[in-house]
Amino acid sequence: MNIPTAITKISPTLWEIPVSYKEGMLVPARIFATEKLLSEMDAGVFDQVTNVASLPGILKYAYCMPDGHWGYGFPIGGVAAMDPHTGVISPGGIGFDINCGMRLVLTNLTEEEVRPRLHQLVDRLFARIPTGVGCHGFVRLSESEFGQVAEQGSRWCFKRGFATQDDLDMTEEGGCFAGADASHISNKAIQRGYNQLGTLGSGNHYCEIQVARPENVFDAQLARAFGIDIPNQVVVMFHCGSRGFGHQVATDYLKLFLSVMERKYGLKVVDRELSCAPFRSPEGEAYFSAMKCAVNMAFANRQVILHRIREVFSDIFQRDPFNLGMKMVYDVAHNTAKLERHEIDGKQREILIHRKGSTRAFGPGGYGLPECYAKTGQPVIIGGSMETGSYLLAGMAGGADAFFTTAHGSGRTMSRHQAKKTFRGDKLQRDMESRGLYVRTDSFGGLAEEAGAAYKNIDEVAETTERAGLSRRVARLVPIGNIKG
């Protein structure tokens, strides 16, 4: 067992590691998990979340969500709030794939209508949405135009006809983090990103055709509010981020922070992967601006992919995409740092929240939510493996204790290397098709990495977030078609 002996059970879904566990901890570490999910976490989770608890300026607790597993610096599923005046910003608390995120799109089609054309749909999506390492998108941009994308995000897409106003309204922060300045990104980052708009990429990124079956609806009233109101309704979910651009932004600033952290600011960290700078320093503010550029590129990337998805459905069903009911439910980011207002010790304060492989999940009345979600709370999307399904949830008032944050996926239990040794991608593809799930992939090795058995049980993760008061289950979405890098 990897579980530290010092850990204390606060509730059936919450555990705490005290500051006495490790020298340098400034706050306790808290992990949301059932006993079973806790036992499935690797030792790196406990080591990393307690390392995070030692970062200067951290407030309340260092958190890890139920899908937590080892990452770079922070565990994936990690959350930390910093005092913006005395605290730091750390790329390891945001991740390399900045604004890796989820988008869910409705249709008014049923499974019965889509099944006869499923192969055609998946094949066409695979042809129109570039997948795999190094793939290029169909939108041709100059380097200066790419700078506009990085500063404007989905708003750039709206001006170019790739988005509707409703798309922007249904995207976190309207699809643009304000304050992005392309002068803070390197030429190398631009070179890696300017031809990748509208691409899915590789790894655990996917575009999936799913079904909301009546027996998998947990809250019919919330489901209707989110637009799921037809038996066996087909929806489209996809997961991708800022591609090589975001990776280069993170790499650039990790290197910069390592050079100034101790020499200029006297900061020491227990793990070099937590390299950081004071948030209110020139270096910290430059990274925050560059990170926003990557966030905005990722929003624009998902928006262009949505444009392609609408084209494919329209072509195959010979109907306008909006006659097909292809409206967004929501687009929500993982892997960001944001200034938000939260209650700390009874007072509203502006704080800097790092979310690494975790999802913002504002409850009813949450600031900045679209009016249609003011009473329901924010739609939350937790993606599962291609074999097991995913979840639509809603933020809850109880999430205030974790800065309104919840899980972002099912969480790995097996490394990618081990999964490739354990599973054969071509066999996995055939097995899934025999079960009614048609998958196209750029790489059988990449497919093997994403086998369902390499992940935690998505049902347990989603149920745990509800029991912990973080996000309420609305509907389980079952995959029937999938494209992967």
Binding residues for Mn(2+): 97, 205, 239, 334
Pair type for strands 471-484 and 438-441: parallel
Which single residue is written with the structure tokens 């979310």?
A: 355
The DSSP result for 366-390, as a single string, is: -TT--GGGTTT--EEEEB--TTT-E
DSSP state of 378: -
Residues 477 and 381: their CA atoms lie apart, in Å, by 10
Q: State how far the Cα of 482 lies from the Cα of 239, in Å rounded to an integer.
A: 11
Q: How many angstroms separate the CA atoms of 479 and 212, rounded? A: 9
Q: Active-site residue among 184, 354, 408, 417? A: 408
Residue with tokens 């983090």: 177
Q: Compute CA 263 distance to the chain's CA centroid, rounded to the nearest angstrom.
A: 34
Binding residues: 97, 204-208, 239, 334-335, 383-386, 390, 408-411, 484
> CA 20, CA 334: separation in Å to the nearest integer?
31
SS3 content of the chain, % helix, strand, coil (to 5): 40, 25, 35
Smallest Cα–Cα separation from 393: which of 404, 276, 385, 401?
404
User: CA quadruple 62, 65, 71, 72: dihedral positive or negative?
Assistant: negative
In angstroms, the CA 481 to CA 118 distance is 7
Beta bridge pairs of residue 339: 352
Q: Tell me if 136 sits within 8 A of 301, measured CB to CB.
A: no
Q: Is 85 a catalytic residue?
A: no
Tell me the β-bridge partners of 177. none
What residues are annotated to the active site? 408
